[in-house]
Each structure stands twice: as C-alpha cells, then as structure tokens.
Amino acid sequence: MSDLVIRRPDDWHLHLRDGAMLEGVIGDTSRHFARAIIMPNLVPPVVTTADADAYRERIVKAIPGGDRFEPLMTLYLTEHTEADDVARGKESGLITAVKLYPAGATTNSHGGVRDLDKVMPVLERMAKIGLPLCVHGEVTTPEVDIFDREAVFIETVLDPLRQRLPELKVTMEHVTTKDGIDYIRSSSGNLAGSITTHHLIINRNAILVGGIKPHYYCLPVAKRESHRLALRAAATSGDARFFLGTDSAPHVDPLKECACGCAGIYTSINTMSCLAHVFEEEGALDRLEAFASLNGPAWYGLAPNEETIRLIKRAEPVTFPAKIETGAGPVTVFDPMFPLYWDVA
C-alpha cells in the first residue's frame, strides 16, 4: 500500500504553550489535526472555566487563516478547584476534561495534587456529570525509581481511586509501560489510554546511549524496549481503548540543552508520517485510522471528523526541518532516527 485515505485525525493530548510559542507551533497541529485536547499546565495554569475561556480565545486567534481547528479545553485540577465551576464548564460545552497532575510530576506541575482526598468532591461531581479525568500516571515520591513511577501509580493511586469511584471515566495519558497497557486491557470499563508518537519509536537507549541526548528526554521518560513493543502492539491492535495523544511539548533549545533540561519532545509537525511508518512496519496500516481518527472521538463522546486526509508513500524520503523558528526561540523537531517516506498530501 502506498496511498491511504483516512478521516482527519485528532490529537488527544497536546501542549500549545502561550504567547509567541503558541503562535509559532499551532500551525503544525492545525495543518493536519481537526481537534486537540489542550493541556492546561501554563504559568499560571488554567484552573477555572474563565481561565479556559480566555486561553481558548488566544488559541483561536493564533490559528493560521484557512485552517479548521477546534481546541478542546481542560482544567488543571488543584486542591482548591471548585466542583461547581467544573460543572459549569462542562455544561457550557467549553470543558472536555479535567487534568490530574501529581505535584512535581512534569513541566509546570508544582501546583498539582498532593492529597487525593482533597479533590474527591470534584471527582465525585465529575463522575456524576460524565466529565472525564485525564491523569498523568506517575507517582513523584523520591524513593520510587523514575522508571517505575507509572507501575507504582497504577497500584497505589489509580486502582484505589477507580475502586472507590468506579463510575469516573479516566484517561490514562501517555501510557509508557506494559504494566499500563495490561491494566487498561484488564479493565471492565471507564478506562482508556492515549499513546504518544515518540513512545512508539524510542526507548531509553535513545536518551542515554552515546551521550545524553536532551531532545529525547520526556516525562514520562521512555522505558525499556519490552515496554515500547507493548505500546506498539496496543496502538496497532485496533483496540478502541487506545488512541493517539502526541504529548507534543515544545521547549526552546536553550531550555532543553542545559544542566537541568526541560522534559518534552516536539512531534506535531511529523507525527502522521511517523505513525504511518510504525503502522506499516507492524502490518497494520488498515488500523491507523482507528488509532488516530476514530477511537479518541468515541471515547470522548464526539463524532469522528467528516473530512479526510491522504497519506502517500514517496519514492524519496520526506524532509522535515531539524528545528522550527518561533518568536520564543528555536524548537528542535523530533528525529525518529530513520527516514520517513509517508507524506500528508
């Protein structure tokens, strides 16, 4: 197969940042994707419906002319979040989900949740009104090895929460381990997982072998090869509980290439080419549409996009810039470390 038409995809986990960075990166998403769930971990974070409304206006204003793109807004869950405000956001149609960051888990997460009991009234209201909870599934206690954070989170936080509140709909975002895949598959309902582009392609060797490579550093950090293979098997299986969430996360190069570099990989610009390559390797090009365009909308209760995109396999490699220039500074583009032949026509 060298020519593939699929429904226009959506991105169910995206960082757009704000200001000059937002203006510099949004076109790489709106060119191919119809919708995206927008992460709320700005500085300051998007914690109220009013914050989300204002942020959405800034996003819409930055969309390049002629592109049709809908930002799906989320709220950053804190121990001071008001259940009534969350419910108003859901009722208005503005808020698609609420995001749980364990405090300190990733970029701009210091204001996240430390004590789950303090947010239970909000979670109970969300369960009642059918508003999904998106979770960054890692514990942050210092005694837990960074490569074990996801598995420990499932055991000590997520599973107890789901037993306590089984009617709550939970998206386990950017799953990185076989443990996460197996846990989702074993669930009887109300649980799904997004998988990133880069976790299908890199393992932890990409970060550490031959010198530290900061542009492959992300959180959750890439794991062993056995975990990467489990992610690929899930993504290409056609299982409706797994869908694309790129977690594309731009940082300017000086903040990546320093003594304490930021976590995040920028993949929006070449995700569809990378995914087509992965799915072709797995003999599953016929399932790419389910992963990128169908499973996510079904999970979030939305109709799939009517528009389509066309992917063509070129005779020569497709070239992408090594960096994009933004008003905030240069951002390095994800390099999958192999040539890409699939192109969005």
**Catalytic site residues?**
247
How far is Cα 87 from Cα 163, in angstroms, rounded to an integer? Answer: 23
Q: Is 55 helix (H, G, I), strand (E, B) or coil?
A: helix
How far is Cα 5 from Cα 209, in angstroms, rounded to an integer? Answer: 38
Q: Is 248 helix (H, G, I), strand (E, B) or coil?
A: strand
- Kindly give, in sequence order, each residue whose CB lies less than 8 Å from that of residue 51, ignoring residues fewer than 6 positions away: 40, 45, 75
Q: At what angle do helices 271-281 and 225-235 cross, to 10 degrees?
A: 90
Identify how many contiguous H helices and E strands the chain contains and give both numbers: 13, 13
How far is Cα 131 from Cα 340, in angstroms, rounded to an integer? Answer: 38
Q: In 10 A of CB 337, how many CB atoms?
A: 9
How far is Cα 247 from Cα 43, in angstroms, rounded to an integer? Answer: 18
Environment class of 92 (CB within 10 Å of its CB; exposed 0-12, middle 13-18, buried 19+):
exposed
- Pairing mode of beta strands 35-38, 11-14: parallel
Environment class of 142 (CB within 10 Å of its CB; exposed 0-12, middle 13-18, buried 19+):
exposed
DSSP state of 304: P
User: Please, how many CA atoms are within 13 Å of residue 142, restricted to the half-sphere of its CB?
Assistant: 0
**C-alpha distances in angstroms, 187 versus 58, 170, 180, 182, 191?**
38, 11, 11, 9, 7
